[in-house]
Amino acid sequence: MLQTQRLILRDWQSSDLEPFAQMNADAEVMKYFPASLSRQESDRLVERIENHHQIHGFGLWAVEERSTGSFIGSVGLNMPSFQAHFTPTVEVGWRLARPFWGQGYATEGARKAISYGFEIIELSEIVSFTSQLNLRSIAVMKRLGMTYQTADDFDHPRLPSGHPLQRHVLYRLRSGY
């Protein structure tokens, strides 16, 4: 379990499945993903997240608001399972329920995950990527101090040619940030 001033990043609990599924079914939350997820797909995603934790010793944590105990989403570190010019790598990622947007929670949680990656796992670099259309997540990457180079842009290999979300930006952060 990791804590920030306002957040707890923790292992997943069965009580997280329903609010996580609701979040993953929200078209606005999933706007920059290929599709919203059904309850079954969302539950399988949690299984994959937990398997990643078991295999690698880190992953995406469930996030709760300290003041209320409310589940607000997920934040953490992940190893992308596709091949690209920058893989293998570890990425920092986040997905929050809409009522918790615009409060700095993504940045706060991601900062804690990055600190964990550099200080505990001793990574030399952490990346983050998203569709070039996802300006909210790009803004978080910038607030985290991540750097961007046009040469790192890539077409996500899991999206078909011509898909509106196919072109992605990659941001990097080196240890010692």
Nearest to 49 by CA among 41, 58, 40: 58
Residue 150: is its pLDDT beyond 80? yes
Tokens representing 62 are 């469930």
Could you read off the pLDDT of 100-139 as tens digits, one per residue?
999 999 999 999 999 999 999 999 999 999 999 999 999 9
Tell me the pLDDT tens digit for each residue of 131-147: 999 999 999 999 999 99
pLDDT at 177: 56
How many other CB atoms are there within 10 angstroms of residue 107's CB atom?
17
pTM attached to this predicted model: 0.94
Q: Where are the domains of the chain?
A: 2-126
Predicted local confidence at residue 51, as pLDDT: 96
The verdict on domain 2-126 having CATH code 3.40.630.30 is yes
- Over 60: is that where the pLDDT of 95 sits? yes
Is the Cβ–Cβ distance between 114 and 61 less than 8 Å?
no
| 105-119 and 135-143 helices, crossing angle to 10° | 50
